[in-house]
Structure 1
Amino acid sequence: MHRRDLLISLASATAALAVTRTALAQGTPAGAMPTGAYLNMATKGGLFLENTARDANGKTNNPALRKFTRAEIIEQVNLANKIDAYTGRIGPDGGAAPGPGGLVGGLVAAPLAVAGGVAGATAGVVGGVLGVPGGRMTSDEQKAAMLSQLTSLQPGPQYDATFVNASLMGHQEALQIHGAYAESGEDPGLRRIARSSLPLIRQHIAALSRMQAMMGPVQG
């Protein structure tokens, strides 16, 4: 199993235990953004940006967009590797060794039943911790639908504009997620990683906004 796929399932299933362990170990103040929810949202958001960029890189005929998507793929892979290296190493057999934060090791060892009451943890974090007006995250189903729409479109101006819109949305969500954790996340090391991602996210938002203005609205 891919390391990020494992992080998604474990982080969403055991967010409550991750919150408790990290808070006890580090004296995290109440109201900090839960690490499990952050890993869940950041991983899913990163995969959306990476997968849409890979599709666009193989289909667009726009040289500027091809250059952007190549940089986007590199950005997402590098960020995922940083998070993986910090939280733990997943071996070929699926086992995990705790990284400096000890987070993945704790998640792997945790019984899934512990998180029975946190099915809505991610939604609560978005509404309560991020606190961004109109800043609700798109659902997994919405992300899947946008990716499916992109993969079904033929190359051309319509495709390029659709990709730019989807990627801009994904980057705006990424800015909220990583920005919130950088500000109030439970784990100091992950806060530094989240903070380090913000300048490039902002650069990409600016670049996508310029492209969107040049391309105009998506037709149909």
Structure 2
Amino acid sequence: MNIKIALVASALALGVAGCMTPTASAPPTAAVTTASVFVPTAASSNLFEIESSRLALRRARDPEVRRFARQMIRDHNLATRRMAATLRTAGIPVPPPALNAKHQQMLATVEGASDFDAAYVNAQLMAHQEAVALFTSYSSSGDVPQLASFAAQTLPTLQMHLDHVQSLSGGAAAAM
């Protein structure tokens, strides 16, 4: 089964079309301008990318999905380290690694999926759409200049990830 058909089938079979499709959980409409909102959201997002991708290395069948997962682990570990360094420089406490409720639910959904590859790709698509929106917003109007600069520097990598996962999904999410 190709990944496009598998994505649609997985979303319908899991009954998560309403909570996992990119359009059902659109990127935040309100601008994120404070570090108190940006930091925990970005940290949770990075941790979700790492943890779901570690799971993908164990469970994914498609070699392209596994390659993408390796890239996610590498890039999001780097982003986590860079954000921590930026926070220390700005005098902001580095939060302990933790998934917020939304990312916990997304991880549980991916973990329990019968078609793991499709569920993982779909979750990555949604997570990267949201991350691009978050980092775009904060980079343009964030309240801590060093953190806004970090967001701006990280944004091209997140956009590259989004483009890559869109190619993996074969545009299936747009058709849902």
User: Structure 2-normalised TM-score?
Assistant: 0.72
Runs (4+) of structure 1 exceeding 2 A deviation are 139-143
Taking the aligned partners of 2:36 and 2:139, their CA distance within structure 1 comes to 14
- Structure 1: how far apart are the matches of 2:101 and 2:37? 18
Partner of 1:185: 142
Residue 12 of structure 2 is matched in structure 1 by: none
Q: Distance in 2 between matches of 1:45 and 1:189?
A: 19
Partner SS, residue 196 of structure 1: helix
What does 1:32-47 align with in structure 2 at a 5 Å threshold?
33-47=33-47
The residue that corresponds to 2:28 in the other structure is none
Shift of 1:152: 2.5
**CA RMSD for the aligned pairs?**
2.3
Kindly provide the amino acid, as one letter, of the partner of residue 37 in structure 1: V
1:131-172 per-position Cα deviation (integer Å, ceiling 9, x unaligned)? xxxxxxxx9434222211222235xxx211110000110001
Q: 1:148 aligns with which of 105, 108, 128?
A: 108
| Whole-angstrom CA distance in 1 between matches of 2:52 and 2:40 | 18
Aligned length: 140
Check whether the contact 1:52–1:163 (CA below 8 A) recurs between aligned residues.
Answer: yes
Q: Distance in 2 between matches of 1:71 and 1:164?
A: 13
Paired position in structure 2 for 1:199: 156
Compute the TM-score of the two structures, normalised by the length of structure 1: 0.58
Write the mapping of 1:66-215 to structure 2, written as runs, cut at 5 A.
66-88=66-88, 100-104=89-93, 140-153=100-113, 158-213=115-170
1:163-198, CA deviations, whole angstroms, 9 ceiling, x for partnerless residues?
A: 000011000110011111110011111111111111
Q: Is the 8 A contact 2:56 2:120 kept in 1?
A: yes
Q: In the aligned structure 2, how far is the partner of 1:79 from the partner of 1:164? A: 20
Post-superposition Cα deviations, 1:87-121, rounded to whole Å, max 9, x if no partner, equal 12xxxxxxxxxxx211229x9xxxxxxxxxxxxxx
**What are the ranges of 5 or more consecutive residues in structure 2 without an aligned counterpart?**
1-30
Percent identical across equivalent pairs?
A: 24
Say which structure, 1 or 2, has more relative contact order (CA 8 Å, 6+ apart). 2
**Partner Cα distance (2:32, 2:72) in 1:** 29
